[in-house]
Amino acid sequence: MTFIAPKTPASVLQADRAALRRRRRTKVIATLGPASAAPEVLERLFRAGADVFRLNFSHGSHEDHAARIRTIREIERRFDRHIGILADVQGPKLRVGRFQGGRVQLQTGQPFRLDLNPTPGDARRVQLPHPEIIAAAGIGTTLLLDDGKLRLRVVRKREDHLETEVVVGGPLSDRKGVNVPDVALPIPALTAKDREDIAFALDHGVDFIGLSFVQRPEDVAEARAIIGGRAWIMTKVEKPQALEQLDEIIALSDAVMVARGDLGVELPPEEVPLAQRRIVRTARQQGRPVVVATQMLESMIAAPAPTRAEASDVATAVFDGADAVMLSAETAAGQYPYEAVNMMDRILSRVEQDEGWRRIIEASRPTPERSTDSAVATAAREVAHITGAVAICVFTEDGQAALRTARERAEPPVLGVTSQRSVARRLALAWGVHAVVAPEAALPEEAATRAGGLAQQLGLAAVGDDLVILAGDRGIQPRSTNVLRVVKVGG
């Protein structure tokens, strides 16, 4: 169903656009699902503060996702604000087989066999239709079932089965998931379903492809060859094996997600906060947008307000300098999707008003890279601070100059100007960046004039305010940000 909005007076739309320019820097990703499928609900989430919408390809049909993409693009057109769309593909799902009666009770200390036999299982055995797990496991390997609720330890191995001891028992039903935290499994990160979903998502113009269960840099390289630059790759770090080659994986990615759901299953709980901080720090050092996700406002699935611990969890991600935070079931299946986005917006805005937040952000700024582009971005932050500039305007064709500027976490907002609509949508994820589409400026003087006009239209600047402008002079060094200027608006 196509969402056809009623006509709105131009003056009202102009006021809406000004109001919808986020005053906070940290962005919000909202997952869509049954609770947020209706066009009017989706628009409310956007108005409440959602900057990027996530489509979870583990659920829903292609027709469902296509309808939501059309609605998002219609909202984008009406409000003249670029919205990012993340297509999160499922990745390899490892599951046990089925049971006679659909469910068994495993007792702690009992033996339990995992084999390749498709016969429905019982309290003594069940099919494990993944020979790669049997091949990779060794004596002492831990297997986690049903999101870690049950724990098995391998005590004997044969070519076609594993004999295990139940370390933590409990109920186990058909097709529950299996996690193997101890070993890197020789399985591809992209399944046949993932490839079909990626092709569909790219044909419908999504901005990010989320990669699930990445274990090694080669997984990201494989996806990059398939995607071919048609979207940015957001690598979800949710396997302990990914932490072993974190720098290399992030270097091959365009953005990173701290996917605490599966990461929290495979890592001890006390290790997850340390892993989160390490991933955020590494992504920031490499200038990649980084998202903190999963269970951020979990109680709001069924309640109109979060717990105090959840509010503190969101605040921690902001203090760490994450580019974005994500809502999952809260907006996809919860009873209060609007309230969840609104609450997230309120927490982010309040934390960013705190003096201690700015001191922490300043102290955690990454070391500048040894390049002209990085030096100019670093200088822009300093110049903006000294001059009291109200905004930094970055002319960027591929978005990289805006990302480098966002990496510096400057005090004023970043106005990212690009001629590519796809780039403006991708920059919806970047910390502190408000992206607009405008023709490429051929000369620095033209860039200065255009920046002043755009800043005034968006309410970022008034006549007489200082702007810091970053642009490229093609005559000096093509495809490089090598010009920094300070101009007065209207001067």
Confirm if 98 and 175 have CB atoms less than 8 A apart. yes
> Average pLDDT in the 359-385 region?
93
> Average pLDDT in the 274-291 region?
97
Residues paired with 273 in a beta bridge: none
Helices 39-48 and 337-352: crossing angle in degrees, nearest 10, is 10
Tokens of 234: 């957001």
Separation of alpha carbons 281 and 286, rounded Å? 9
Average pLDDT in the chain: 93
Element (H, E) at 42: helix 39-48
- pLDDT bin (cut points 50, 70, 90) of residue 5 is very low
Pick the catalytic residue: 54, 176, 288, 450?
A: 54
Residue 441 pLDDT: 75
CA-nearest of 257, 318, 316 to 283 is 257
Is pLDDT above 60 for 277?
Answer: yes
Cβ neighbours for 36, distance < 8 A, ≥ 6 positions apart = 30, 42, 45, 331, 332, 337
Q: C-alpha dihedral over 130, 209, 480, 490, to 10 degrees?
A: -160
Residue 432 pLDDT: 97
Pick the catalytic residue: 26, 71, 294, 481?
A: 294
- Known active-site residue 216: no
- Known active-site residue 236: yes
Residue 445 pLDDT: 77
Tokens 């058909």 belong to 174
Q: What SS3 state is found at 442? A: coil
Helices (H), 80-205: 131-136, 192-203
Residue 7 pLDDT: 47
**Could you report the per-residue pLDDT of 373-426, keeping only the tens digit for each?**
999 999 999 999 999 999 999 999 999 999 999 999 999 999 999 999 999 999
Q: What SS3 state is found at 404? A: helix
Tokens of 461: 């600047």
Share of the chain above pLDDT 70, in %: 94
Separation of alpha carbons 52 and 72, rounded Å? 10
Separation of alpha carbons 425 and 405, rounded Å? 17
Share of the chain above pLDDT 90, in %: 88
DSSP state, residue 344: H
Is pLDDT above 60 for 217?
Answer: yes
Is pLDDT above 50 for 6?
Answer: no
- pLDDT bin (cut points 50, 70, 90) of residue 473 is low
Cβ neighbours for 374, distance < 8 A, ≥ 6 positions apart = 368, 404
Pick the catalytic residue: 70, 95, 216, 281?
A: 95
Tokens of 216: 């090694």
| Structural domains of the chain, ranges and CATH numbers in brackets | 10-91+188-362 (3.20.20.60), 100-179 (2.40.33.10), 372-488 (3.40.1380.20)
Residue 440 pLDDT: 82
* Inter-CA distances, 324 with 88, 348, 418, Å: 16, 10, 21
pTM of the full structure: 0.92
**Could you report the per-residue pLDDT of 176-203, keeping only the tens digit for each?**
999 999 899 999 989 999 999 999 999 9
> Average pLDDT in the 134-158 region?
97
Residue 422 pLDDT: 98
Residue 444 pLDDT: 72
Amino acid at 210: G
Residue 100 pLDDT: 97
Confirm if 32 and 438 have CB atoms less than 8 A apart. no
CA-nearest of 333, 337, 236, 242 to 288 is 236
Amino acid at 396: T
CA-nearest of 346, 335, 273 to 299 is 335
> Average pLDDT in the 166-176 region?
97
CA-nearest of 341, 91, 346 to 215 is 91
Confirm if 276 and 264 have CB atoms less than 8 A apart. no
Give the lowest-confidence range in 179-183, 221-225, 469-473: 469-473
Residues paired with 326 in a beta bridge: 29
Element (H, E) at 485: strand 483-488
Is pLDDT above 50 for 4?
Answer: no
Is pLDDT above 60 for 13?
Answer: no
Tokens of 27: 């962005």
**Could you report the per-residue pLDDT of 51-109, keeping only the tens digit for each?**
999 999 999 999 999 999 999 999 999 999 999 999 999 999 899 999 999 999 999 99
Residue 22 pLDDT: 87
Residue 482 pLDDT: 81
**Could you report the per-residue pLDDT of 30-52, keeping only the tens digit for each?**
999 999 999 999 999 999 999 99
- Known active-site residue 288: no
Strands (E), 57-149: 84-88, 103-106, 111-115, 125-127, 142-145
- pLDDT bin (cut points 50, 70, 90) of residue 148 is very high
Angle at 298 between CA 54 and CA 167, to 5 degrees: 105
148: burial class by Cβ within 10 Å (0-12, 13-18, 19+)? middle
**Could you report the per-residue pLDDT of 111-136, keeping only the tens digit for each?**
999 999 999 999 999 999 999 999 99
**Could you report the per-residue pLDDT of 294-328, keeping only the tens digit for each?**
999 999 999 999 999 999 999 999 999 999 999 99
- pLDDT bin (cut points 50, 70, 90) of residue 11 is very low
286: burial class by Cβ within 10 Å (0-12, 13-18, 19+)? middle
- Known active-site residue 95: yes
- pLDDT bin (cut points 50, 70, 90) of residue 472 is confident
Confirm if 115 and 97 have CB atoms less than 8 A apart. no
β 161-168/150-158 pair status: antiparallel
- pLDDT bin (cut points 50, 70, 90) of residue 491 is low
Pick the catalytic residue: 24, 125, 176, 236?
A: 236
Phi, psi of 323 (to 5 degrees): -70, -35
Separation of alpha carbons 216 and 249, rounded Å? 7
